[in-house]
């Protein structure tokens, strides 16, 4: 399986479309790279570009884009609403299909080194690519922004990972990192009341919400806000009240296994100065940001979510929690919407999730899994969801032989050419045998006498599907290998 990596560089230019086009032209000049999206913002004066491909071409395209941005963008003249400190402000690499986070860390560090050495731009590694915990958080790395960069570079604690510790007034600095795939995901409600969407979003998101008391059923936002007071420190998630923040933090650690000091710092609050400030109730999920809004085109309110690690917080789990919270309030979730693209792995996990809930076999073809995920999440509720366009890393069989009609393939084998020959025929026979094995396991799942072996049968069916796909690819691979041997011997 090919390794597919996504790169999402953010450039500090959102108004000069000609300059943006030159940067994207530099990206598309690399063979094997697919440009997915270009999203310029005038008020932020920033453009987010998304492209994918195998690791080597993606790395080269990223470097060329940074190089072109450094030529075209002058940070000394830049202004915009978004935090920034460089012409190419951030350049994250994301595993999509077949690639690991370690692969993306390797790419990020290699590209970062090239940027520093060849372009003379200070480079900071962040998130998974960071070499120290202090540099994992992008906000910390970018603190002070462009205006404070000269001072930052003079601080030995903020020596760049690559490039000179010298202020580059034109290009600024660049943060290069590796992170998980960010899924932008909206949940649709049968109402146009934004308050109701916020009500559920606040319950779901990691940030949580202000703790309230009194009239909180069914709508929590109608209750009275609870505040910290001198000698009174309530727990946001229970009726427990401590006499000090230290006592509350210990209770929080024991009950929830988390650090309350870090929790309030992440909210921008000083744990030593909370008297008179609202108490926060935890959200249901980590790695989740969310807010409610109304989309006039759809005539509905949406819970707008960003999932920053779908492997920890899957969209289908969030959706089912939203359905429960909505039902408690008399609201109906009518469906959901993927904004942009989504990795096949995420759809694969969602498909398996819904099949397992139905006690149906999970060992089915990749596109069937995607279809199941789309149906379970109602992804065609407000907009079209074309799995071929919206899902990246979707397994495919691109070989010319594998895509022939059966009669055409049989005729091709019969001709006076040595290939396709025995190897391709054996691969086809193996693929069909694996398909039959999967069929048997899938039929068995539906029979009552095998209910206690559901997980085992699913595992066998999945392995049969994997073998089927590998052997189908081998139909063409065998012929291609034979032809290469013949060519080498000439």
Question: Cβ-count burial of 435 within 10 angstroms (0-12 exposed, 13-18 middle, 19+ buried)?
Answer: middle
Catalytic-labelled residue, pool 78, 82, 251, 287? 82
Is residue 221 within 8 A of residue 212, CB to CB? The reply is yes
Structure tokens at 168: 């580059």
Distance CA 130, CA 108 (A): 10
Residue among 50, 59, 51, 54 nearest 32 (CA): 54
82 annotated active-site? yes
CB within 8 Å of 42: residues ≥ 6 apart: 14, 15
Q: What span, in angstroms and rounded, lies between the C-alpha atoms of 183 and 392?
A: 12
Known active-site residue 103: no
Angle in degrees, CA 195, 201, 204, rounded to 5: 150
Cis ω before 2 (30° cut-off from 0):
no
Q: Which of 89, 161, 235, 478 is catalytic?
A: 478
Asked whether the beta carbons of 75 and 174 are under 8 A apart, the reply is no
Q: Is the backbone peptide bond immediately before 337 cis, with ω within 30 degrees of 0?
A: no
**CA distance linking residue 202 with residue 205, whole number of Å:** 6
Determine contact, residues 417/464, Cβ cutoff 8 Å: no
Q: Measured between alpha carbons, how far is 143 from 129 in angstroms, rounded to an integer?
A: 18
Tell me the C-alpha distance between 148 and 127, whole Å: 21
Q: Cα separation of 208 and 278, whole Å? A: 12
CB 333 within 8 A of CB 186: no
Report d(CA 90, CA 86) in Å as an integer: 8
Q: How far are the Cα atoms of 158, 335, 444 from residue 354, in angstroms, in the given order?
A: 47, 15, 19
Rounded CA-CA distance 49/46 in Å is 10
Give 48's strand partners: 10, 39
Alpha carbon of residue 216 to chain centroid: 34
Question: Which DSSP category does 288 fall into?
Answer: E
238 alpha-carbon distance from chain centroid: 33
Which residues are catalytic, by number? Answer: 82, 478
């Amino acid at each position: 399986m090919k390794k597919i990596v996504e790169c999402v560089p953010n450039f500090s230019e959102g108004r000069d479309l000609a300059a943006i086009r030159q940067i994207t032209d530099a990206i598309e000049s690399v063979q094997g790279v697919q440009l997915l999206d270009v999203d310029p913002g005038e008020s932020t004066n920033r453009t987010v570009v998304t492209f994918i491909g195998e690791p080597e071409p993606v790395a080269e395209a990223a470097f060329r884009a940074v190089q072109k941005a450094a030529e075209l963008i002058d940070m000394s003249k830049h202004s915009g609403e978004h935090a920034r400190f460089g012409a190419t402000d951030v350049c994250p690499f994301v595993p999509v299909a077949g690639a690991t986070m370690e692969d993306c860390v390797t790419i990020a560090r290699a590209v970062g080194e090239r940027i520093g050495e060849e372009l003379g731009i200070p480079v900071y590694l962040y998130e998974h690519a960071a070499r120290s915990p202090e540099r994992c958080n992008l906000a910390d790395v970018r603190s002070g922004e462009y205006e404070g960069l000269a001072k930052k570079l003079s601080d030995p604690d903020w020596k760049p990972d690559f490039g000179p510790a010298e202020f580059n007034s034109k290009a600024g600095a660049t943060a290069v990192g590796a992170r998980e795939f960010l899924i932008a995901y909206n949940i649709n409600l049968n109402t146009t009341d934004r308050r109701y969407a916020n009500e559920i979003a606040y319950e779901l998101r990691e940030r949580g919400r202000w703790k309230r008391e009194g009239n909180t059923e069914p709508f929590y936002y109608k209750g009275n806000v609870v505040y910290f007071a001198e000698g009174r420190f309530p727990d946001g998630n229970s009726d427990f009240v401590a006499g000090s923040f230290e006592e509350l933090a210990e209770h929080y650690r024991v009950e929830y296994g988390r650090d309350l000091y870090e929790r309030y710092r992440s909210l921008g609050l000083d744990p030593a100065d909370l008297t008179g400030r609202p108490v926060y109730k935890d959200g249901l999920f980590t790695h989740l940001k969310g807010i409610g809004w109304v989309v006039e085109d759809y005539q509905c309110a949406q819970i707008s979510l960003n999932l920053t690690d779908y492997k920890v917080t899957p969209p289908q789990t969030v959706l089912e929690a939203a359905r429960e919270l909505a039902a408690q309030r008399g609201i109906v979730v009518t469906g959901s919407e993927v904004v942009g693209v989504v990795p096949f792995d995420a759809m694969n996990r969602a498909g398996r999730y819904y099949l397992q809930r139905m006690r149906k076999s999970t060992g089915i073809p990749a596109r069937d899994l995607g279809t199941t995920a789309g149906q379970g999440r109602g992804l065609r509720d407000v907009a079209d969801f074309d799995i071929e366009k919206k899902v990246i890393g979707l397994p495919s069989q691109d070989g010319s032989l594998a895509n022939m009609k059966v009669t055409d393939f049989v005729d091709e084998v019969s001709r006076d050419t040595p290939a396709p020959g025995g190897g391709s025929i054996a691969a086809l026979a193996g693929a069909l045998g694996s398909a039959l094995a999967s069929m048997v396991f899938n039929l068995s799942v539906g029979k009552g006498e095998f209910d206690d072996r559901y997980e085992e049968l699913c595992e066998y069916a999945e392995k049969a599907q994997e073998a089927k796909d590998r052997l189908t690819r081998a139909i063409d691979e065998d012929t291609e290998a034979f032809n290469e041997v013949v060519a080498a011997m000439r």
